[in-house]
Amino acid sequence: MKIMAIVLAAGQGKRMKSKLYKVLHPVCGKPMVSHVLNAVKQASCERAVIIVGHGADAVRTTLGDSAEYAFQAEQLGTGHAVMQAKDLLGQEDGVTVVICGDTPLVRTETIEAMIAQHTAQGAAATVLTAVFPDPSGYGRVVRGENGDVERIVEHKDCNPEEAAVREINTGTYCFDNRKLFAALEFVTNSNAQGEYYLTDVIGILKAQGERVGASVASDIAEAIGVNDRVALGEAERLMRHRINEKHQLNGVTIIDAGNTYIGADVTIGADTVLYPGTVLRGNTSIGSDCVIGPGAEITDTVIGSGTTIRHSVSENAHIGDDCNVGPFAYLRPGTKLGRHVKIGDFVEIKNAVIGEHSKVPHLSYVGDAIVGTGVNIGCGAITANYDGYNKSVTEIGDDVFIGSNANLIAPVKIGNGAYVVAGSTITHNVADNDLAIARERQVNKPGYADKLRARAKAKKERGSE
Ligand code: UD1
Ligand code: CA
């Protein structure tokens, strides 16, 4: 049996009061609509059609060709929205899951259970429902005497008796595809909001003598529809908890889960420990036995195993096994650290490769550089990679010693085993195993400090007379 999905994502989301279209608001770093699309795809939906309208281009850019698109020019209601998929799906036989782009917490397993029940019961439609302590704002599920679903009534259309129902429509359904499109033809907009409601299809199918089932979600958190920033905050909190728990069950220690923020697509190996204030974003992947945090902001970074990163920021970097980063290091895009590299305090690395067992322990800037293995870069040494117009490369061979406060003026090459004396400003290449010194020779004037003090004292006394 063919399974398809329609994701409703054409609304503007006025209640968000945002320039960003509602379904593109991120939850744990990932747009709501991407969460929803992932969930339906993993529930083996072969085709997924996204209904776009407001922000159509932005939604298309975000989801790319992982889905098909149907355009709803005017937002006349959820039923009208589904109708826009008729050209694409109308001729298919099978089951169609309809889901809202603003319900990011619906799980794949829940969709699968709904589809299984739907097929087992031979239903024309099955609604995913939830029982809420406070059902305000949601459509109410009205059941008949035998417990069958009779119809769904929108909050604004409820009489007092219907308003008291606490079982709500989560906005996720599955339908017999042909019966869905046939029933949509009968939907009108004679209701409180003047919209074509998808929810009316339930009553229409029921009146046609079809079987309509309900699958009750066990976890009501899954049913949250994000219409405003309060719900967005709540969805974020619930998703964060879910993600943290997944990693904990996989063997990651999270010292304070309430203070640890892990993006939806981050991967972490077993026996890694996350300290509070850790923020992991995007396509970050972390190996096993790492210690991350306290205070780490890590974006799109690949980290090996056995590495420690404390109080540091990393973006678009590769960090090898057994490295030690921070406190207070800034790894910018293009940083590649080999194994056993130490990057210490107040060090910035940008677009640079640092070889195995090399150390940049304190107060350095290494940018646009290739650094070999076993190199020691002294405190305060920097690469001067920018002349105000062009960026140039610094190459440092293996086993090089760069003394403290050296300035390496790029483009420049330091050969293997070379030694750059502290305080040197290096403008010319240094050959293998050479020692380079580039600074004024020191002059000592015997006893001159005493003379200096005597002179200063005399001057002060003259001034105070
Ligand atoms: C809808 C349901 C309600 C349910 C709730 C669950 C209807 C009529 N009501 O209400 O029963 O309890 O979801 O969260 O279906 N959209 C379009 N085109 C439109 C209108 C909406 O694509 O013309 C999209 C929106 O972008 C959104 C989704 O459909 O992603 C739901 O629309 P929304 O306005 O949020 O519906 P609710 O009032 O929340
Ligand atoms: Ca909604």
Give the integer Cα–Cα distance in Å for 328 and 316: 17
**pLDDT tens digits, residue range 250-265?**
999 999 999 999 999 9
Give me ligand 2 centre to Cα 213, in Å.
22
Mean pLDDT of the region 231-250: 97
pLDDT at 139: 97
Nearest CA to ligand 1 atom 29: 8
Q: Known catalytic residues?
A: 362
**CB of 80 within 8 A of CB of 186?**
no
DSSP structure class, residue 137: T
Per-residue pLDDT at 464 exceeds 80: no
Radius of gyration of the chain (CA): 32
CATH number of 3-223: 3.90.550.10
Domain assignments of the chain as residue spans, ordered by start: 3-223, 251-436
Give the integer Cα–Cα distance in Å for 275 and 282: 19
Nearest CA to ligand 1 atom 35: 227
DSSP structure class, residue 19: S
User: Which residue bears the tokens 């060709």?
Assistant: 65
**pLDDT tens digits, residue range 367-382?**
999 999 999 999 999 9
Distances (CA, A) of 146 to 142, 143, 215, 296, 312: 12, 8, 16, 56, 61
Above pLDDT 90, what percent of the chain?
A: 97
User: Which residue bears the tokens 């030690």?
Assistant: 324
Nearest CA to ligand 1 atom 26: 11
**pLDDT tens digits, residue range 5-55?**
999 999 889 999 999 999 999 999 999 999 999 999 999 999 999 999 999
Atom of ligand 1 nearest to the CA of 77: 23
pLDDT at 142: 96
**pLDDT tens digits, residue range 157-191?**
999 999 999 999 999 999 999 999 999 999 999 99
**pLDDT tens digits, residue range 409-426?**
999 999 999 999 999 999
Is 251-436 assigned to CATH 2.160.10.10?
yes
Report which of 113, 163, 106, 121 is spatially closest to residue 138, judged by C-alpha positions.
163
Q: If pLDDT is split at 50, 70 and 90, which confidence band does 147 have?
A: confident
Mean pLDDT of the region 297-317: 98
The ligand placed nearest to the CA atom of residue 78 is: 1
Which residue type, as a one-letter code, is found at position 198?
L
Atom of ligand 1 nearest to the CA of 152: 11
Note the helical H segments in 228-316.
229-249
pLDDT at 439: 94
Pocket around ligand 1: residues whose beta carbon is below 6 Å from it? 8-11, 23, 51, 53, 72, 75-78, 80-81, 100-103, 138-139, 152, 154, 168-171, 197-199, 225, 227
**CB of 398 within 8 A of CB of 373?**
yes
Give the integer Cα–Cα distance in Å for 378 and 401: 8
Q: If pLDDT is split at 50, 70 and 90, which confidence band does 148 have?
A: confident
Per-residue pLDDT at 465 exceeds 80: no
pLDDT at 218: 87
Give the integer Cα–Cα distance in Å for 370 and 366: 9
Nearest CA to ligand 1 atom 22: 10
